[in-house]
A and B are shown apart, each in its own frame.
Chain A
Amino acid sequence: MLTFITKRIGLALAIAALSVTLLFIIIHLIPGDPARTMLGPKATPELIAEIQARMGLDKTLPHQILIFFGNMLQGDLGMDIFSNRPVATIVFEQLPHTLALIFSAIAWSATLGIFLGCFSAVRRNSLADRLTGILAVSFIAAPAFVIALYSLLLFAVELKWFPAIGAGTPGDIGDIIWHLVLPSFAIGLSWVGYIARLVRASMLEILGEGHVRTARAFGLPEKWITYRYALKLAILPTVTVIGVGMGFLLSAAVFAEIVFSRPGLGKLVIDSISTRNYPVVMGSVLVSTILFVASTTLSDIVNAILDPRIRQAK
């Protein structure tokens, strides 16, 4: 198991380094000058040159990459030239908002999705199964930004049940959760559908296998068979999907961050790319990549823990 985990973490680090290098090259290849974007028409040639030098843009691209990784290994992600603040501070200010949004969305959507999937599977081809199927596909088909806008108009503007903007007062957990409800609902809804369909299909497959028939033949209670034996195996692909889904939720979170005017990593990346704020882009992308790779690695490890065949196969 230790070898498996070590290999997985090594691979994750290699993927993160490669992704960040590629993104570094891509962002620097796109035309656009941060000094001109920052200063607008005030950008005199002297100011432009000075800002470019402060950002290290007067150096060759390979040199810039080496500097970036060198500093990164020392925990230094550079300085944001626009606000004169450390990039790490800026990124880690935004990260908790994104993590809270993603984890809350995953948590509620996985809970409901797994329940609906099991509910459908044990009532295969019944009216309830069909209705659940229709509901799940509807959830999948609804784009996150549409859900975000409509939930905002209904629950914030009309009913005034939830706040429309922001992420709540720092330190006030109740207020933060209150501000999370609508964004989390908006980006998690389609995952309810995905997970429900996935769990249903896996459950049906597992419920038809020999060991389940044997368990039934031994007279084990149906609930025990369903939730203790079948679900434990059926959930494996869901764990993998949730791991990969973290990446997709990072994208969906951008919509929620824009519509609900929430702070977050996605919005930070978009703002930074549009202003060619290279240090912040790289810092944000690095953290996002690590987040994505860590979640997929974690899902691999959880899969291996749940199913000994996986770790033996590696």
Chain B
Amino acid sequence: MTKVNFEWKSMSIPRREFLKTTTAAGALAASGVGFSSSASAAGGTLKTRTYADMRSLDPAFSQGVVDELIQAPIYSKLVQYKPGREWGWKKDAAAMVEQVDDTHIKFALRDDQGFNNGFGAMTAEDVKYSFERHTDEELGGTNGPDMGALDHVEVTGEREGTIVLKNAFQPLWSITLPYITGNIISKKAWEGAGGKISTTAITASGPYMHKSWVSKQKSTLVANPDWKGEKAAFDEIQIFHIDDEKSAEIAFEAGELDFTRVSLGSVERLRTDRPADSTLDEFPSLYYAWVGMNVDNEKLSNKKLRQAIQHAIDVPSIMEAAYFGAAKPSTGIIAPGLSGHREKSLVSPEQNLDKAMALLEESGAGGSNITLDILNKSANVTAAQVIQANLAQIGLNLEIRLHEGATFWSLGDETAGDQWKNVELILNRYSMTPDPYYATSWFTCDQVGGWNWERICSPEFDELHAAGQSEGDPVKRDAIYQRAQDIMEETGAYKFLTHEATPVIYRNSIAPGLRPDGLQLLRDYSPA
């Protein structure tokens, strides 16, 4: 790889404080802090771990957390997530970013931003190219939905432009800009490569650059010598692909990793007995797990039966048995710290046998045989067994049906056949990004037969979901999503279980940069 120093002229940009960032919806606090929080001490090698192999170095084809883990340190964004226990963002390549109205966001790039390998300064044209390709249907990228509200990017100067949205879209500040779709790539480099790349890097604009990728083994990043910002904290970052958490724990104990997520089952042991000079940190996760009920199924169309099941399930027991006490019961689909989180659910997480029995009697479905479909993960099996015991207490016989991944994920899909009709109870778990809009997206009427497996269709819910996307007042937005979750619960089709947890262990020689949900921000790692 030829390294050519940046050659671009300095440009004066008014460093205005950006305004109107209230659109961050309260969940994201505008920081206005300096560019990088990495420690100034440089050097050494950081060895960390990811649970899956890298799939692509092209943001348009990024397939989620793992690809973003690698892309985030090598591509700059206008704004980046801020490490810490509270959600927020900080400016990155943007010297200024300002929401002027619901659909217009002005930005100006810093004058020291550029691409290595001779691709020059970062311009507003690069931003336009990077963002608009996500919505290019011909390109067929996989992240279009996250950039869905983008109409176009208007270039107003060499390093200045305006993001124009089709409609107000609050997740812009919590998902679109600081996550996968926010990565800024070089138009010149990409066009030279035919419009897309796979696993070979062609340029970098961040503090690190991609050195190598050994399939199913590791990715290696090295400090980008052409980076003009604060010096990269490590000379090299090795990201090992270890899918099994237990194997990763062993590798950590053997001294071959500096950081790894650990299994929930190991948390209790690691709290008291962990390798010397290491720290265990526990973060709440954004994932949400719940027991859903298919209201279009003949048996479960009985609302009283559904409500009886809601009250019969004892979530604290599931937390103890399946999550080893390392996770807490949830109140809905929106985790603490995000707009719309509810402090309390309508139905208590604890079992209420009397109420369950009374509802079951009203339903006239006592002694029914019911099925529960689950994914073949040990935590799910244990949780299902607890639910089976809970329902047996009110006289319902539960049959647990175990499925492997791809089969499970097509159970509620109408296009995959009629199996959705046989779904009764389902133990489900969805991933989540730090904006409530992402959580409610899957439970709308148009998702029935897609990802809405409970098949609840509530016009009020749909209206709230639509309103939540554009509501700029944090208090109102909070109320919108709280009401949306109330509606879900009132249908009787949901018993919320948990947001799980992200326990991580790391050597005391490093200070990891982590999001509030425990995901890694490699740019923000530094030696301790």
Taking CB atoms, residues of chain B closer than 8 Å to A47 are 140, 142, 144
Taking CB atoms, residues of chain B closer than 8 Å to A259 are 244, 247
Q: Which of B53, B217, B451 contacts A167 (CB 8 A)?
A: B217
- Binding stretch for chain A, among B340-348, B410-418, B510-518: B410-418
Q: Which of A36, A39, A93, A263 contacts B413 (CB 8 A)?
A: A36
Taking CB atoms, residues of chain A closer than 8 Å to B8 are none
In the complex, the answer to whether A41 meets B406 with C-beta atoms within 8 Å is no
Max chain B Cβ within 10 angstroms of own Cβ: one of A32, A37, A156, A263: A32
Q: Which of B145, B251, B410 contacts A32 (CB 8 A)?
A: B410
In the complex, the answer to whether B242 meets A83 with C-beta atoms within 8 Å is no
Q: Which of B196, B218, B416 contacts A166 (CB 8 A)?
A: B218
Q: Which of A46, A90, A157 contacts B215 (CB 8 A)?
A: A90
A239 to chain B minimum Cβ distance, whole angstroms, is: 32
A312 to chain B minimum Cβ distance, whole angstroms, is: 47
**B-facing residues in A43-98 (Cβ within 8 Å):** 43-48, 50, 54, 82-85, 90, 93-94
Q: Is B17 an interface residue (CB 8 A)?
A: no
Q: Is B110 an interface residue (CB 8 A)?
A: no
Taking CB atoms, residues of chain B closer than 8 Å to A143 are none
Question: How far, in whole Å, are A274 and B250 apart by their CA atoms in the complex?
Answer: 25
The verdict on A274 contacting B406 (CB below 8 Å), with A42-B142, A42-B145, A156-B250 known, is yes
Taking CB atoms, residues of chain B closer than 8 Å to A43 are 450
In the complex, the answer to whether A165 meets B140 with C-beta atoms within 8 Å is no
Max chain A Cβ within 10 angstroms of own Cβ: one of B248, B409, B416: B409
Nearest chain B residue, comparing its CB with the CB of A259: B247
In the complex, the answer to whether A32 meets B407 with C-beta atoms within 8 Å is yes
- Binding stretch for chain A, among B55-63, B290-298, B364-372: B55-63
A157 to chain B minimum Cβ distance, whole angstroms, is: 5
Question: How far, in whole Å, are A90 and B214 apart by their CA atoms in the complex?
Answer: 11
Question: How far, in whole Å, are A273 and B404 apart by their CA atoms in the complex?
Answer: 10
Question: How far, in whole Å, are A84 and B54 apart by their CA atoms in the complex?
Answer: 12
B149 to chain A minimum Cβ distance, whole angstroms, is: 15
Question: How far, in whole Å, are A153 and B217 apart by their CA atoms in the complex?
Answer: 20
**A-facing residues in B42-80 (Cβ within 8 Å):** 53, 55-56, 61, 63-64
The verdict on A263 contacting B410 (CB below 8 Å), with A42-B142, A50-B140 known, is no
Question: How far, in whole Å, are A164 and B254 apart by their CA atoms in the complex?
Answer: 7
B394 to chain A minimum Cβ distance, whole angstroms, is: 32
Nearest chain A residue, comparing its CB with the CB of B438: A41
Question: How far, in whole Å, are A36 and B409 apart by their CA atoms in the complex?
Answer: 7
Taking CB atoms, residues of chain B closer than 8 Å to A26 are none
Question: How far, in whole Å, are A47 and B243 apart by their CA atoms in the complex?
Answer: 27
In the complex, the answer to whether B415 meets A94 with C-beta atoms within 8 Å is no
Q: Is A194 an interface residue (CB 8 A)?
A: no
Taking CB atoms, residues of chain A closer than 8 Å to B450 are 43, 45
Taking CB atoms, residues of chain A closer than 8 Å to B64 are 40
Question: How far, in whole Å, are A41 and B63 apart by their CA atoms in the complex?
Answer: 12
Question: How far, in whole Å, are A212 and B55 apart by their CA atoms in the complex?
Answer: 62
In the complex, the answer to whether A261 meets B251 with C-beta atoms within 8 Å is yes
Taking CB atoms, residues of chain A closer than 8 Å to B441 are 41
Q: Is A276 an interface residue (CB 8 A)?
A: yes
Q: Is B199 an interface residue (CB 8 A)?
A: yes
Max chain A Cβ within 10 angstroms of own Cβ: one of B196, B216, B244, B255: B216
In the complex, the answer to whether B253 meets A166 with C-beta atoms within 8 Å is no
In the complex, the answer to whether B244 meets A275 with C-beta atoms within 8 Å is no
B206 to chain A minimum Cβ distance, whole angstroms, is: 22
Taking CB atoms, residues of chain A closer than 8 Å to B256 are 163-166
Q: Is A260 an interface residue (CB 8 A)?
A: yes
In the complex, the answer to whether A83 meets B199 with C-beta atoms within 8 Å is yes
Question: How far, in whole Å, are A48 and B255 apart by their CA atoms in the complex?
Answer: 43
Q: Is A23 an interface residue (CB 8 A)?
A: no
Q: Is B485 an interface residue (CB 8 A)?
A: no
In the complex, the answer to whether A33 meets B199 with C-beta atoms within 8 Å is no
Q: Is A34 an interface residue (CB 8 A)?
A: yes
In the complex, the answer to whether A164 meets B251 with C-beta atoms within 8 Å is yes
Taking CB atoms, residues of chain B closer than 8 Å to A48 are 415
Max chain A Cβ within 10 angstroms of own Cβ: one of B55, B241, B254, B255: B254
The verdict on A83 contacting B406 (CB below 8 Å), with A31-B419, A164-B251, A263-B216 known, is no
Taking CB atoms, residues of chain B closer than 8 Å to A156 are 250, 254
Residues 392-411 of chain B, each 1 if its beta carbon lies under 8 Å from chain A, else 0: 00000000000011110110
Question: How far, in whole Å, are A307 and B448 apart by their CA atoms in the complex?
Answer: 68
Question: How far, in whole Å, are A38 and B143 apart by their CA atoms in the complex?
Answer: 12
Taking CB atoms, residues of chain A closer than 8 Å to B404 are 274
Taking CB atoms, residues of chain B closer than 8 Å to A258 are 243-244, 247
Max chain B Cβ within 10 angstroms of own Cβ: one of A82, A160, A166, A167: A166
Q: Is B431 an interface residue (CB 8 A)?
A: yes
The verdict on A276 contacting B406 (CB below 8 Å), with A40-B431, A45-B450, A164-B256 known, is yes
Q: Is B240 an interface residue (CB 8 A)?
A: yes
Nearest chain B residue, comparing its CB with the CB of A257: B216
Q: Is A174 an interface residue (CB 8 A)?
A: no
Q: Is B442 an interface residue (CB 8 A)?
A: yes
Q: Is B198 an interface residue (CB 8 A)?
A: yes
Q: Is A152 an interface residue (CB 8 A)?
A: yes
Taking CB atoms, residues of chain B closer than 8 Å to A273 are 406
Q: Is A268 an interface residue (CB 8 A)?
A: yes
Residues 26-56 of chain B, each 1 if its beta carbon lies under 8 Å from chain A, else 0: 0000000000000000000000000001011
Residues 182-221 of chain B, each 1 if its beta carbon lies under 8 Å from chain A, else 0: 0000000000000010110000000000000011111000
The verdict on A152 contacting B250 (CB below 8 Å), with A41-B442, A84-B198, A90-B215 known, is yes
Taking CB atoms, residues of chain A closer than 8 Å to B140 are 47, 50, 54
In the complex, the answer to whether B247 meets A263 with C-beta atoms within 8 Å is no
Taking CB atoms, residues of chain B closer than 8 Å to A90 are 215
Residues 140-173 of chain A, each 1 if its beta carbon lies under 8 Å from chain B, else 0: 0000000000001100110010011111001000
B240 to chain A minimum Cβ distance, whole angstroms, is: 6
Q: Is A127 an interface residue (CB 8 A)?
A: no
In the complex, the answer to whether B255 meets A84 with C-beta atoms within 8 Å is no
Residues 226-259 of chain B, each 1 if its beta carbon lies under 8 Å from chain A, else 0: 0000000000000011111001101101111000
In the complex, the answer to whether B406 meets A30 with C-beta atoms within 8 Å is yes
In the complex, the answer to whether B55 meets A41 with C-beta atoms within 8 Å is no
Taking CB atoms, residues of chain B closer than 8 Å to A34 are 406
Q: Which of B216, B254, B407 contacts A31 (CB 8 A)?
A: B407
B396 to chain A minimum Cβ distance, whole angstroms, is: 27
In the complex, the answer to whether A93 meets B251 with C-beta atoms within 8 Å is no
Taking CB atoms, residues of chain B closer than 8 Å to A31 are 406-407, 410, 416-417, 419
Q: Which of A42, A85, A263 contacts B198 (CB 8 A)?
A: A85
Q: Is A197 an interface residue (CB 8 A)?
A: no
In the complex, the answer to whether A39 meets B142 with C-beta atoms within 8 Å is yes
Q: Which of B241, B413, B431, B451 contacts A261 (CB 8 A)?
A: B241
Question: How far, in whole Å, are A39 and B61 apart by their CA atoms in the complex?
Answer: 10
In the complex, the answer to whether A261 meets B56 with C-beta atoms within 8 Å is no
B426 to chain A minimum Cβ distance, whole angstroms, is: 15
Taking CB atoms, residues of chain A closer than 8 Å to B415 are 45, 48
Given A31-B419, A84-B196, A273-B406, 11 new contacts (CB under 8 A): A33-B413, A38-B142, A160-B255, A164-B247, A164-B254, A165-B247, A166-B217, A261-B241, A261-B247, A274-B404, A275-B406
What are 9 inter-chain pairs, A to B, with CB distance below 8 A? A31-B407, A38-B63, A41-B431, A41-B451, A43-B450, A47-B140, A54-B140, A152-B250, A261-B251
Which 9 residue pairs across A and B have the least CB separation, nearest first?
A32-B406, A263-B216, A164-B254, A261-B242, A276-B406, A165-B251, A84-B198, A156-B254, A164-B251
